[in-house]
Structure 1
Amino acid sequence: VRRQLDYLQRNLEAIDALIADGASLSALRKHWWQKLLACSELHRQQTILLNSKTRSIPDRLVNLVQRQVRPIVRGKARSAVEFGAKISISVSNGFAFLHRLSWDAYNEGEDLIAQAEKYKQDNGCYPERICADRIYINAKNRHYCTKNGIRLSGKRLGRPPKDPEINAAHKQQLSADQRRRNEVEGVFGSGKRKYSLKLIMARLAHGAATSISMSFLVMCAEKILRLLRLFFVLFLACLCRLLRLHTSPAKAWTITDERWSDWPVTA
């Protein structure tokens, strides 16, 4: 690594010498100019990492083209470090909404209050309950939800109640909230598998953000299409039933009489 940094330093010094002799970088295209700046920043970061014997540095570059990409430590068994945009979404009535997109690692627990306020702005009231992950259940969010009459999922503070019925009810409610929260994980899974969230090919930050937003837009549009299809099928079924009753009223009355005759008679 030290030898490669020396090679890069030699090339950068050669470019500086050409500039000192009167050469101009104004003729460079924009992407070459940005790559040159990225190489200079990469040399600075890698030199600090090499000399300080550390493995982390703020705003670390991992790609000369996609300079907005940052390594995000996830701690998963399959991949400890992930690269790409980190998004925060919410699911309401089966529809997924994108709230935050960032290329830097951040604490997801900060998004709960903003999403609750956005829900109130759109619907005129706070949600009845919020089914969130453990990282969202902190003291600040608990106080906010209690203040605004929102039931936040998760284990309650303090010791469990001594009454076994109340304790069983709390556990049942926690299990129901966890099942409801799994809908969010399903949105991520279907988005990666069906809506190309796993195959974002755009290089620029704005292009990648547009692709991610369009995936959620198409997801909601297909949800509306399925609901319209279901409504159309139910409407046709009701219409066919009404036409059938209108064309054969005597048969319909006979069926009604038979149903009444099948009821048991009690003294």
Structure 2
Amino acid sequence: MYRKEEQPLPPPEKFELPFEGKLSPNNRWVIMAELIPWDDFEEEYAKLFSAEKGAPAKLFRMALGTLIIKEKLGTSDRETIEQIRENPYLQYFIGLNCYQQEPPLESSMLVHFRKRIDGELINKINKKIVKREIDKSDKEVKKKDCLQEKGGKIKNKGKLILDATCAPADIKYPTDLGILNQARIETERIIDNLYKPLRVKLRKKPRTSRKIARKEYLKVAKKRKVSYQERRKAIGKQLKYLKKNLGNIEDLIQAGASLENLSKRQKNCLETIKKVYEQQQSMWENKTQSVPQRIVSLTQRHIRPIVRGKAGKPIEFGAKLSVSCVDNYVFLDKISWENFNESCHLKEQVEKYKETFGYYPESVHVDKIYRTRENRNWCKERGIRISGPKLGRPPKNVSEEEKKQAHSD
């Protein structure tokens, strides 16, 4: 159940403290609290709850404010609650009327907050804040520059910067041999758990050759330099051990073993291991290094390799982000665990700019990958200047000043 507070929050100087003094209006948390339009999204957040059933839910300001504090301080869920309990400025930021020594909520509530407040809602809040700040700081200029021209067309204004990056995930650098070794160890543990209730029925435990398999893995993993033939031979051996373990698991299930004896993590891991075996076996047979939707982590199977082409880090493992920057404000336009071509989203990002501010940008500043012929023509039709030199062979006898001017555009 969601119950909105009827009594408005007091200003920071009237926030009740157990000791003498008052909150400073120049504090960063007080300033940030004034920037965020809490009330504008209260109704949208309330739609997630029932109006009559259930216990009263935490207010939107407390939910979003707690998540902002956690990300701003870079703390864990429990440490975030402790910081809020000890700091009156943080308590004011999440919407409390006075300082209290007891924690205002449990740390487990942050899990529910993250589920309810998704990236789409965060983007709406960011756009609302940016639009309000730009309108406030540039109100007079906007009246002059954004008047309709003779043809009834609104003049383009502003600068839009587009780029894509990768948010690396916290995983060990994956190798084919390392993933297969980890998968083999997990299947051995699964076999142990499935065999326990069948000790009386099956006198002999299925052989896994775990000691031999580990020696074969360490023989190659401990080497500084491994040749292609040695690595390929070691991968082939681990594939055989893994295939044998998967076969033993199927035999135990047919003999009466139940998957209910496994934990939820082991069940998910078993499905992932089967997919890993199929991918690695296919790459080993075809002598390739890539496969569609390649799994690089058993615990986080959604992570994909993202080819960046950067010096020192040609490939990163994590989510790929497509972002836009307007007056030092950054918007997250797209996030995906699968690799994508960011140039295909230029039109969509420019249209979002127009939807937010009411006019197209005067210029779009992008990398070379965005400057396709289609994107250039699309921007030209709308009077948008795109950065970078023209397509095709550069003209001869170009002065240094003209070259600088072309690259600065």
Interval containing the TM-score (normalised by the shorter chain): 0.5 to 0.7
Tell me by how many angstroms 1:38 deviates. 0.8
Structure-1 separation of matches of 2:347 and 2:286 = 39
Tell me by how many angstroms 1:159 deviates. 6.8
Q: Describe the superposition over 1:95-143 as per-residue Cα deviations: whole angstroms up to 9, x where unpaired.
A: 1111111112211111211100111111111111101111000011011
Match of 1:76 among 307, 310, 319: 310
Tell me by how many angstroms 1:93 deviates. 0.8
Tell me by how many angstroms 1:30 deviates. 2.6
* Equivalent residue letter for 1:176: S
Q: Please state if 1:62 is matched with 2:296.
A: yes
* Equivalent residue letter for 1:76: K
Structure-1 separation of matches of 2:290 and 2:348 = 30
Matches for 1:160-239 after TM superposition, within 5 Å: 171-177=403-409
Structure-1 separation of matches of 2:299 and 2:289 = 22
8 Å CA contact 2:294–2:304 kept in 1: the answer is yes
Tell me by how many angstroms 1:145 deviates. 0.4
* Equivalent residue letter for 2:252: L
Question: What CA RMSD, in Å, does the superposition of the two structures yield over aligned residues?
Answer: 2.2
Unaligned runs of 5+ in 1: 178-267
Match of 1:118 among 352, 359, 362: 352
- Structure 1 residues 80 and 157: alpha-carbon distance in aligned structure 2, compared to 1, 3 A threshold: closer
Tell me by how many angstroms 1:11 deviates. 1.1
Equivalence for 1:109? 343
Tell me by how many angstroms 1:160 deviates. 6.2
Match of 2:268 among 34, 41, 63: 34
User: How many residues in Structure 1 have an aligned counterpart in Structure 2?
Assistant: 175
Equivalence for 2:325? 91
- Structure 1 residues 15 and 112: alpha-carbon distance in aligned structure 2, compared to 1, 3 A threshold: same
Structure-1 separation of matches of 2:393 and 2:351 = 31
RCO higher in 1 or 2 (8 Å CA, sep ≥ 6)?
Answer: 2
Tell me by how many angstroms 1:37 deviates. 0.7
Identity among equivalent positions (%) equals 45
Equivalence for 1:22? 256
Q: Describe the superposition over 1:27-55 as per-residue Cα deviations: whole angstroms up to 9, x where unpaired.
A: 53332211111111111111111111111
Q: Describe the superposition over 1:172-224 as per-residue Cα deviations: whole angstroms up to 9, x where unpaired.
A: 443434xxxxxxxxxxxxxxxxxxxxxxxxxxxxxxxxxxxxxxxxxxxxxxx
Equivalence for 1:53? 287
- Structure 1 residues 158 and 105: alpha-carbon distance in aligned structure 2, compared to 1, 3 A threshold: closer
8 Å CA contact 2:389–2:407 kept in 1: the answer is no
Equivalence for 1:247? none
More helix by share: 1
Tell me by how many angstroms 1:23 deviates. 2.5
Structure-2 separation of matches of 1:37 and 1:76 = 34
8 Å CA contact 2:319–2:337 kept in 1: the answer is yes
Tell me by how many angstroms 1:161 deviates. 7.3
- Structure 1 residues 23 and 136: alpha-carbon distance in aligned structure 2, compared to 1, 3 A threshold: same
* Equivalent residue letter for 2:374: K
Tell me by how many angstroms 1:163 deviates. 10
* Equivalent residue letter for 1:82: E
Please give the secondary structure, in 2, of the residue aligned with 1:142.
Answer: helix
* Equivalent residue letter for 2:408: A
